Copies of this chain bind each other. A is one copy, B any other.
Amino acid sequence: MLRESKYRAPPSAGRPVELPGHFAGLVRLGRETVALTTDTVGTKVLLAEQLGAWEEVGEDIVGVNVNDLAAVGARPSAIVDTILCDRPRPDVFRAIGRGLGRGLRAARCSLLGGETAVVPDVVKGIDLGATALGYFPSGRRPVSGQGIRPGDVVLGVPSNGFHANGYTLIRKILSESRVDLRTPRPGRPVTVGQELLAPTRVYTVAVDAVAGDPGVQGLAHLSGGGVRNLVRLHAKAEFVLDHWPRVPGLFRWLQGLGAVADAEMFQTFNMGIGFALVVRPNRAAAVLQKLARAGARDARAIGHVEAGSGVSVPEFGVRYEGYS
């Protein structure tokens, strides 16, 4: 966002709703509040190019955007996608389209339009991005995080691998270690390439089932920035993640290859938890039950809130103060 643009539109354009610390922008239009998020798949496209596999990143286009809608409690409605490429590649476009379709299905969201531009002087290969539109069903208010207080419980929903974050570091480590993406890690049934391509888990259906619950006080998509995304929810709360689950083998394997410090890992990758919910303790069990019914049976308590600031993962000796 270009913060230099301080222009305020007149009320006839709708009233922007301030929601500090979130990646989604909100505006009140007539009798409804809608939310917009925009993001790209980043350099994960280079892995797709290398492996000649495009469905997964097509699916990521949806996940990276709608999960940011979920983080304000909005329900995804529609996506518009942007494909920039250096040449027309019908087979690749079809594969991306199939993946996008899977993402839409997972997010229960429509494709409302898009733009495919062949711009060889601007883009190398393919860039994939989108904007997602969400709204607040009748009676639901945006979840801002401002009601978070000490004693609240932090729930986490597991990720599906690296999603679409940190691929610049991932590719650097793989390249320096000369890893063959077409072979499996020891004892694994699929290749490293397939593990790395796994599409972003879509959290919106599960989160939509609880976003209106009075006990739900904060929501965070642990994308770029990892657990630091929690810090954005409330300046005067410390998020103590003292029940972090076992870090998936893929993350530990990459960490070993690149000799990456824990503090770097937790602020670059999701480390196994892709979405977090901050919930009043007396509603935690009910929220977990609703999440399970909506498809997130693997959600679990991963920590709690204390007076203070920042976020910590004590088991790993990791602690961050601000967002960046």
A residues lining the B interface (CB < 8 Å):
1-10, 12-14, 16, 23-27, 29-32, 34, 36-40, 42-43, 45-46, 58, 75-78, 80-84, 93-94, 96-98, 100-101, 104-105, 108-117, 119, 121-127, 129, 131, 133, 135, 137-138, 168
| B123 touching A16, Cβ below 8 Å | no
Once the chains bind, are B121 and A124 in contact (CB under 8 Å)?
yes
Pair B31/A104 contact, Cβ less than 8 Å: no
**Contacting pair B124 A14 (CB below 8 A):** no
**Of B26, B31, B109, which is within 8 A of A31 by CB?**
B31
A46 and B76 contact, CB distance less than 8 A: no
Q: In the complex, which residues of chain B have a beta carbon less than 8 angstroms from the beta carbon of A46?
A: 121-122
Q: Is the CB of B98 within 8 A of A14?
A: no
Residue on B with the closest CB to A81? Answer: B2
Q: Can you list 30 A-B pairs, Cβ within 8 angstroms, ordered by A?
A: A1-B81, A2-B81, A2-B83, A2-B97, A2-B101, A3-B97, A4-B100, A5-B98, A7-B105, A8-B110, A12-B75, A12-B108, A13-B77, A16-B110, A23-B113, A27-B112, A30-B135, A36-B112, A37-B80, A38-B81, A42-B117, A43-B121, A45-B122, A82-B129, A84-B127, A115-B129, A122-B124, A122-B125, A123-B124, A124-B124
Residues of B within 8 A of A109 (CB): 9, 13
Q: Across the interface, do A108 and B10 meet the contact criterion of CB distance under 8 Å?
A: yes
User: A195: shortest Cβ distance to chain B, in Å?
Assistant: 21
CB-based contact B110/A1 at 8 Å: no
Chain B residues whose C-beta falls within 8 Å of the C-beta of A105 in the assembled complex: 7
Task: Kindly list chain B residues whose C-beta atoms are within 8 Å of the C-beta of A98.
Answer: 4-5
Contact indicator B133/A34 (Cβ below 8 Å): yes
Chain B residue numbers with a CB within 8 Å of A37 are: 80, 113
A40: contacting residue among B25, B78, B82, CB under 8 A: B82
Cβ of A1: which chain B residues have Cβ within 8 Å of it? Answer: 80-81, 111, 113-116
Q: Which residues of B contact A10 (CB under 8 A)?
A: 108
Shortest Cβ-Cβ A-B pairs, 6 listed: A25-B112, A4-B97, A2-B97, A131-B131, A25-B113, A1-B114
